[in-house]
């Protein structure tokens, strides 16, 4: 689906998005979300630009993780959850909340990396290969190639290549999180969703993950929930500020941090609450 | 500034507290050793009476009117086949029920009700399972007083144990593992089959073995459905020389089992039959203890191999 972007990312040159590619990858329109009778998201409307990093910030309980988990329909796994509105994914424009859309298909297009590294208690290789196997890739050679590619893109290949068939839990926390990233990108998803991916990691492991995310946007659209404003400032192109289930403001990260238009955004960014 | 009296009082109190502590330690030790002692005496008693009786002849002979020629061949074969039927029924049903309740079922009043009743079922006296099996399997389904009826009765008896063991081992798997699988596009079935079951095999196997070691010693339900106490033949072999090479006739064969053979011998007069009973008891205890030991080993290994 992102074949148009791949040649430029392989060239190694500084990536300049063409006009078509800065277009919205995901269009969220009037999204309401309910846990039972409790409304958590209120009329969220936003565009997520293709091949950029969009950060979701806001105080605890503002709905940013809930919003992220709407995108891969994770809420469907638990009873009593309800969506209203639409989320269109380009280029095909499918409404992933639409009737008849299989959440499983949605999850194959939206990779996810969780707060705490959660590798399967299997080998490094099998962790990365699992998503591919789910999509019907069974040929040993193709699996080998794509596992290697994903591990390279997750900057884990050099550390892992000699022990691909050892248990993933022998890796350090930061390595495990990079393994989870490799697992999420191995299937070439359209979008990768990061849910506070560095909150359980030390500063060195964190900076590696951040570099990786910036590198990733050459070929995949990234959304990241973060509690760490500096992190949003360092790695994101766009920042969305949420408060009490509403999207207060969305804009280029530089402008959001220097010149926010809404007073709540300014209060949050300047540390007056949070 | 605290007075000298204060310190003296503290010292006395301290001594009293330590004495209490020491007292409980001794009491606990005595009670524990006492319990173990009873078990030890039981084993010793069985060994004194029965050990000399255990030999090749004892294992390969049918019961007999002459105690010296009697053996437990039909009993241990019966027990083995019963366990085969019991495991063959209780494991798939228990696994399926456990997986359904833990991974699929919605959490509502209905499933709470089912959950409480599974716990209750585990506490139902085994003779009631015997009565149910007699009415249902023997009379209603016409399975006869057979290995099939006996195995089914025991399967019902241990089913709650298997269900609870399955659920508990599934519950130890963190939800983040489930979400990792779902986020990659796994269905519930794939998450169960590729991840949850493999990661909980140790716990489930432990539960199954404990369930089997419970079933192996049961006699009440088997007596209720009419297991015979004197069987001088073996059930038809499960493997035959003509196609299709497997036969299920053995399922409908009358049977006896170790605890029943033991019961029969205990109720006879004569020193020699008593030592036969003790020997059969020793073998039964040996099987049970080694099953439990396997369960413990399995649990240890499972805990060592999987870290979250």
Chain B interface disruption, residue of A73, A103, A116, A134, most B CBs within 10 A:
A134
Residue A3 has what pLDDT? 42
**pLDDT tens-digit readout, A178-230:** 999 999 999 999 999 999 999 989 999 999 999 999 999 999 999 999 999 99
This prediction has a pTM of 0.82
Tell me the pLDDT band of B268, cut-offs 50, 70 and 90. Answer: confident
In CATH, the number for domain B54-305 is 1.10.3720.10
Of A106, A120, A225, give the one whose Cα is nearest residue A179: A120
A77, A116, A131 ranked by CB distance to B184: nearest: A131
Tell me the pLDDT band of B65, cut-offs 50, 70 and 90. Answer: confident
Determine the distance in angstroms separating the CA of A127 from the nearest CA of chain B, rounded to an integer. 10
Does B181 sit within 8 Å of A120, measured CB to CB?
A: yes
Residue A12 pLDDT greater than 80, yes or no: no
- In eight-state DSSP terms, residue B252 is G
Does A118 sit within 8 Å of B176, measured CB to CB?
A: yes
When pLDDT is averaged across residues B172-192 and rounded to a whole number, the result is 94
Does A74 sit within 8 Å of B182, measured CB to CB?
A: yes
Does residue B184 belong to the interface with chain A, where contact is any CB pair within 8 Å? yes
Determine the distance in angstroms separating the CA of B295 from the nearest CA of chain A, rounded to an integer. 22
What size, in residues, is chain B? Answer: 308
Residue A214 has what pLDDT? 93
Domain range summary for chain B, segments of one domain joined by +:
4-52, 54-305
What size, in residues, is chain A? Answer: 274
Domain range summary for chain A, segments of one domain joined by +:
3-7+24-269
Structure ipTM over 0.90, yes or no: no
Chain A interface disruption, residue of B185, B187, B189, B199, most A CBs within 10 A:
B185
**pLDDT tens-digit readout, A24-56:** 899 999 999 999 899 999 999 999 999 999 999
Residue B241 pLDDT greater than 90, yes or no: no
Chain A interface disruption, residue of B111, B178, B179, B180, most A CBs within 10 A:
B180
Q: What is the per-residue DSSP string for chain A?
A: --GGGHHHHHH-SPP---TTTTSEEEEEEEEEEEETTEEEEEEEEEEEETTSEEEEE-STTSSHHHHHHHHTTGGGGSTTEEEEEEEEETTTTEETTSTT--HHHHHHHEEEE-SS----SSBHHHHHHHHHHHTT---HHHHHHHHHHHHHHTT-HHHHGGGTTSBGGGS-HHHHHHHHHHHHHTT--SEEEEESTTTTS-HHHHHHHHHHHHHHTTTSEEEEE-S-HHHHHHH-SEEEEEETTEEEEEEEHHHHHH--SSHHHHHHHTTS--
- A–B CB contacts, 8 A cutoff, strictly below: 62
**Nearest Cα residue in chain A from B305:** A121
pLDDT-wise least confident of A3-7, A176-180, B173-177: A3-7
Task: Tally DSSP H helices, then E strands, for chain B.
Answer: 12, 0
Percent of chain B with pLDDT strictly greater than 90: 44
Buried b (16+ CB within 10 A) or exposed e, B98-115: bbbbbbeeeeeeeeeeeb
Does A135 sit within 8 Å of B183, measured CB to CB?
A: no
Does residue B306 belong to the interface with chain A, where contact is any CB pair within 8 Å? yes
Architecture of domain A3-7+24-269 in this structure: 3-Layer(aba) Sandwich (3.40)
**pLDDT tens-digit readout, B107-129:** 888 888 998 898 888 888 999 99
Tell me the pLDDT band of A5, cut-offs 50, 70 and 90. Answer: very low
**pLDDT tens-digit readout, A146-177:** 999 999 999 999 999 999 999 999 999 999 99
Residue A22 has what pLDDT? 59
């Amino acid at each position: 689906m992102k074949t148009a972007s791949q040649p430029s990312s392989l060239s190694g040159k500084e990536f300049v998005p063409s006009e078509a590619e800065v277009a919205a990858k995901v269009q969220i329109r009037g999204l309401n979300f309910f846990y039972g009778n409790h409304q958590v998201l209120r009329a969220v409307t936003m565009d997520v630009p293709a091949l950029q990093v969009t950060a979701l910030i806001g105080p605890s309980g503002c709905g940013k993780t809930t919003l992220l988990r709407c995108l891969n329909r994770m809420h469907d796994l638990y009873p009593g959850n309800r969506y209203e509105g639409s989320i269109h994914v380009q280029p095909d424009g499918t409404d992933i909340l639409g009737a008849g859309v299989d959440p499983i298909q949605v999850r194959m297009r939206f990779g996810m990396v969780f707060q705490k590294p959660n590798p399967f208690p299997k080998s490094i290789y099998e962790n990365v290969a699992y998503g591919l196997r789910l999509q019907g890739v069974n040929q040993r050679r193709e699996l080998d190639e794509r596992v290697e590619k994903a591990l390279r893109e997750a900057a884990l290949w050099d550390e892992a290549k000699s022990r691909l068939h050892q248990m993933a839990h022998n890796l350090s926390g930061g390595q495990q999180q990079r393994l989870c990233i490799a697992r999420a990108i191995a299937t070439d998803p359209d979008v990768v969703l990061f849910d506070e991916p560095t909150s359980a990691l030390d500063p060195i492991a964190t900076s590696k993950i951040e570099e990786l995310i910036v590198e990733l946007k050459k070929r995949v659209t990234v959304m990241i929930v973060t509690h760490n404003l500096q992190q949003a400032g360092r790695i994101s192109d766009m920042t969305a500020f949420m408060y009490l289930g509403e999207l207060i403001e969305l804009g280029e990260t530089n402008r959001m941090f220097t010149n926010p238009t809404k007073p709540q955004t300014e209060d949050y960014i300047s540390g007056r609450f949070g | 500034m605290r007075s000298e009296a204060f310190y003296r009082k503290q010292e006395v109190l301290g001594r009293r507290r330590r004495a209490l502590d020491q007292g409980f330690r001794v009491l606990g030790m005595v009670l524990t050793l006492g319990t173990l002692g009873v078990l030890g005496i039981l084993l010793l008693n069985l060994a004194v009476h029965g050990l000399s009786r255990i030999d090749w002849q004892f294992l390969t002979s049918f019961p007999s009117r002459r105690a010296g020629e009697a053996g437990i061949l039909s009993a241990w074969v019966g027990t083995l086949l019963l366990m085969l039927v019991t495991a063959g029924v209780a494991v798939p049903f228990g696994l399926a029920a456990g997986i359904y309740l833990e991974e699929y079922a919605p959490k509502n009043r209905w499933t709470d009700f089912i959950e409480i009743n599974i716990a209750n079922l585990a506490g139902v006296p085994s003779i009631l399972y015997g009565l149910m099996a007699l009415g249902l399997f023997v009379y209603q389904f016409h399975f006869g007083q057979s290995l099939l009826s006996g195995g089914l009765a025991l399967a019902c008896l241990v089913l709650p144990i298997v269900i609870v063991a399955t659920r508990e081992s599934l519950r130890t798997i963190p939800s983040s593992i489930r979400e990792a699988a779902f986020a990659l596009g796994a269905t519930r079935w794939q998450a169960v089959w590729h991840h949850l079951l493999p990661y909980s095999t140790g716990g489930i196997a432990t539960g199954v073995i404990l369930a089997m070691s419970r079933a192996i010693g049961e006699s009440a339900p088997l007596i209720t459905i009419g297991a015979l106490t004197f069987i001088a033949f073996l059930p038809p072999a499960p493997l035959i020389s003509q196609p299709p090479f497997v036969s299920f006739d053995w399922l409908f064969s009358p049977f006896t089992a170790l605890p029943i053979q033991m019961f029969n011998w205990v109720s006879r007069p004569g020193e020699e039959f008593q030592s036969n009973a003790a020997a059969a008891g020793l073998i039964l205890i040996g099987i049970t203890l080694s099953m439990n030991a396997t369960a413990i080993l399995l649990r240890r290994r499972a805990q060592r191999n999987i870290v979250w």
